[in-house]
Amino acid sequence: MKPIEINHIQGLLDQFVNKDIYIHLETTNGAYASHFDDKAYNVGAYIRNANVIYEQAKIVGDGKSYRVGLKTGLGWIYAEGLSDWTMHEEQLLLAGHDREGRLMVALEISEKPFHN
């Protein structure tokens, strides 16, 4: 994966505007949260192959951490804490990791459904 370059990612996001696409979005602090702090809560969210059309995409950030918002006809999808990206088989993957390299958030966009 490579560090996010805001203008490049904005161009990639724009390539999916007004197309029938599939979203994979997950966020987690992982099961490891409570292993290091017994007062911590394990939290996470996961959605795979949500079929949407977005009419606008926007990436904002401070050079270290980024947020991507996708405006659909009914509302917004967004992921925050993103820092890295890659393209794999025409699927855009944006991810954010903690200081130890563990996944904290992932947003994938594809014109084809993701494999289970």
pLDDT at 111: 97
Q: What's the pLDDT at 46?
A: 93
> What is the chain's mean pLDDT, rounded?
91
What's the half-sphere exposure (Cβ side, CA atoms, 13 Å) at 5?
A: 7
Domain residue ranges of the chain, discontinuous segments joined by +: 2-110
Q: Model pTM?
A: 0.89
pLDDT digit string, tens, across residues 98-113: 888 888 999 999 999 9
**Assigned CATH for 2-110:** 2.70.180.10
Query: Which among 24, 19, 81 is positioned nearest to 48, based on CA atoms?
Result: 24
Q: For residue 22, with 0-12 CB atoms within 10 Å meaning exposed, 13-18 middle and 19 or more buried, which class applies? A: middle
pLDDT bucket at 84, cuts 50 / 70 / 90: very high
Give the tens place of pLDDT for each residue, 8-44.
999 999 999 999 999 999 998 765 555 556 666 778 8
Contact in structure between 90 and 81 (CB atoms under 8 Å): no
